[in-house]
Amino acid sequence: MIGRQVALRLLLAFPTLFGVALIVFILLRVVPGDPIAMMAGVTATPEEIERLRGLYGLDRPLLEQFWAYLGQLVQGDFGVSITRRLPVTELIFERLPATIELSLFAMALAVGLGIALAVAATYWRGRAAERMTDGFSAFGLAVPDFLWGLIFILILGVLIPVLPISGRVDPSLSFSSATGLYLIESFFRGQFDVFVSTLSRIVLPALSLALPLAAIIARVLKSSLAEVMQQDYILLARVKGFGRFRIVMRDALRNALVPTVALTAVQFTFLVGGTVLVERIFSFPGLGNMAIEAVVNRDLPLIQGVVITFALIFIALNMLIDLTYGLLNPRLRHG
Amino acid sequence: MAERRIIQATGMRPLVRPGRVTLGATILALLAFAAVFAPLLAPHNPIDQDLMVSFLPPFWSDGADPAYPLGTDSLGRDVLSRLLYGARIALTVAVIAAFLAGLLGTVLGLLAGYFGGWVDALISRIVDIWLSFPPVLLSIVLVAVIGSGLHSVIIAIVVIDWTRFCRVVRAEVMVQRNQDYVAAAVTIGLGRWRTIVSEILPNVAPLLIVLFSLEMGIAIIVEAILSFVGLSVPSDFPTWGGLIQEGRLYVNQSPWLMVFPMVCIILSVLGLNALGDGLRHRLDPVMRR
């Protein structure tokens, strides 16, 4: 049953993948009048441009180019980066773990913070604490992740410099990672100096990404908690004499969580998208930072590779979300 | 029916209790005022340089010059004047981009929602493809490809954000399509297009006003992001994002350079979000308690 659903989802992903490939092709090879001139720069001679054109197959008809390009993509071959002179795939795999680690850490922060805020608002309902969490939610939503990043740099990096604001690990520490997931790996290998250094550098970018999501989680969870608190079984629990904290934490929270879980999953893709700029601001060596570098340098193969990698991540996440919905909601299972 | 909702939406009816709508409308009015009257309000030309007075602090600090109320930047340009002119760019981009994104998204959403079938399948598939790209990355690549400038920023926002309108309008039209008034319109012989434009559209309009308000906030952020990355308008133009980027270079000497434009962006977005949320609550009978 579930196997069939997964197969169906995979099948449905194909037209989307094809569409993504088509858009990237149009965006990077058809729209800019001459991508080669863009890559070669103003100093290139006409002969050089002609040579590059032949090298990238841009002198052939568009349809033929598209076909060749699709063939390369299917093989996972994004070509060679112009500025780094290394295979794009290699560069992407080198950077990907950093972005994954940052996204997951940010997500954990957002969930923890969001739940704490919603519970606090419900527990102290009608008091100043509730208004404070509401205010925080509104503020958290109005300030986009990259501005949070700048605010943190300003306050904790410049005015009260307590945390490092760039990089991933102290450059003086030597750490050769097998997985690229520094935080987890250094912890389990017992290199706590590396762990602390990594942690101190991931906190601010992760918090920047987490705050807007935490605000959304707090808002939605608070309203489902308010609904659940009206239910009869909560009244029953009260009549039984359970404490208010226990009721909110154990009886209400468990039943209010489902809509929040669904929403959090959807919002996670936005958080991953936000890493692009936040990584740039904190000079965090992830995929997003490399993407902006590639755009600034007009490194066409690298731009293409990074955009398609992000699209693959998004499609995979959306597929996972759909499948989870199907599992959580029995009514959709037979749809 | 639709008229009454719009009257509520534009806040022309006396407000029952001052709340988010008032707050949002006030901030929006201030922003519009600053943008329209920037040439009259600004004490200096925003691009006039005077190296003799660079890095002046804001008026409350020691050593401030009352002629430059919010201080000056690294080239001695007046920060207040630059912020006021920045409001012009922010508001222009916000209004035009949100309007065009709304137009495109609404047309496609109406088509998908009303006709269903293969039209809906096609449009929904395109939306799916669009949602597979991280919006920030896509906008940066798009502007890099079509060249920087205000019009590119607007194009980027429209190309990326029409899906927000499309999804919501489609879902709403699907609900509206099964209402009795649509059946009545068909019965009295209105054509499909008449039905869509003069019957369904007015009933979707309140929703559009809410989305428009929220989209303006998003457009201000996207413009700031693109300026921040250096892809928006030439650096002579004072954009809020550009001011942040410039301020970032001198954050140790003069942190205010970065703080002021950030406050402008945050207040604008806070106001537009409050307006959108407030309108949604007021227009949605279920949420209006």
Tell me which range, B63-67, B73-77, B134-138, is most confidently predicted by mean pLDDT: B134-138
Report pLDDT for A125. Answer: 80
Please, what sign has the CA dihedral across residues A55, A59, A65, A68?
A: negative
Q: Contact, A243 vs A123, CB < 8 A?
A: no
Partner-chain residue, chosen from A15, A150, A310, that has the shortest CB–CB distance to B133:
A310
For the record, the structure tokens of B82 come out as: 């630059």
Residues A53, B278: Cα–Cα separation, whole Å: 55
C-alpha closest to that of B166 among B199, B134, B120: B120
Checking if the pLDDT of B288 tops 50, the result is no
Comparing A320 with A97, the larger pLDDT belongs to A97
Which pLDDT band, with edges at 50, 70 and 90, does A334 fall under? very low
User: What is the model's pLDDT at position B11?
Assistant: 47
Average pLDDT along chain B: 84
pLDDT confidence of A328, banded at 50, 70, 90?
low
Nearest chain B alpha carbon to A302: B141
Place of tokens 């919501």: B168
Higher pLDDT, B285 or A81: A81
Contact A28 B136 (CB under 8 A): no
Q: Which domains, from first to last, does chain A contain?
A: 1-83+297-335 (no CATH), 95-290 (1.10.3720.10)
Q: Is B15 on the interface with A (CB under 8 A)?
A: no
* pLDDT for A238 beyond 80: no
> What mean pLDDT comes out for the span A284-304?
88
Domains of chain B, CATH where assigned: 25-283 (1.10.3720.10)
Is the Cβ–Cβ distance between B273 and A142 less than 8 Å? yes
φ, ψ of residue A161 in degrees (nearest 5): -70, 95
Does the pLDDT value for residue B16 go beyond 60?
no
**Mean pLDDT, all residues of chain A:** 82
Q: Which of A18-27, A99-108, B70-79 has the highest mean pLDDT?
A: A99-108
Higher pLDDT, B13 or B180: B180
**A39: closest CA among A332, A304, A299?**
A299
pLDDT at res. B235: 66
Helix (H) or strand (E) holding A108: helix A88-123
Mean pLDDT value across residues B216-222: 92
Backbone angles phi and psi of A292, in degrees to 5: -65, -40
What was the pLDDT predicted at B285? Answer: 55
A107 pLDDT higher than 90: yes
**pLDDT, tens digit (0-9, with 9 covering 90-100), for A200-214:** 889 999 999 999 999
CB contact (8 A) between residue B144 and residue A16: no
Is the pLDDT assigned to residue A112 strictly greater than 60?
Answer: yes
Q: For residues A87-92, give the mean pLDDT.
A: 92
Which helix (H) or strand (E) segment is A128 a member of? Answer: helix A128-142
Q: How far apart are CA B214 and CA B235, in angstroms?
A: 28
Asked if B250 and B55 count as a contact pair (C-beta separation under 8 A), the reply is yes
Would you call A273 and B225 a contact, using CB atoms and an 8 Å cutoff? no
CA–CA separation, A87 vs A82, rounded Å? 9
Whether pLDDT at A330 is above 60: no
In contact, A137 and A117? CB cutoff 8 Å: yes
Least confident of B103-107, B195-199, B233-237: B233-237
| Contact map slice: B 227-266 vs A, CB within 8 A | 228-230, 244, 248, 251-252, 255, 258-259, 262, 265-266
Closest residue in B to A15 (Cα) is B125
More confident residue, B13 or A316: A316
Contact B219, A115 (CB under 8 A): no
Does the structure show a pLDDT above 50 at A108?
yes
A68 Cα to chain B: minimum distance (Å): 22
What's the CA gap between B218 and B225, in Å, rounded?
10
Whole-number Å distance between alpha carbons of B262 and A148: 10
Supply the ipTM of this predicted assembly.
Answer: 0.82
Q: What is the mean pLDDT of residues A77-100?
A: 89
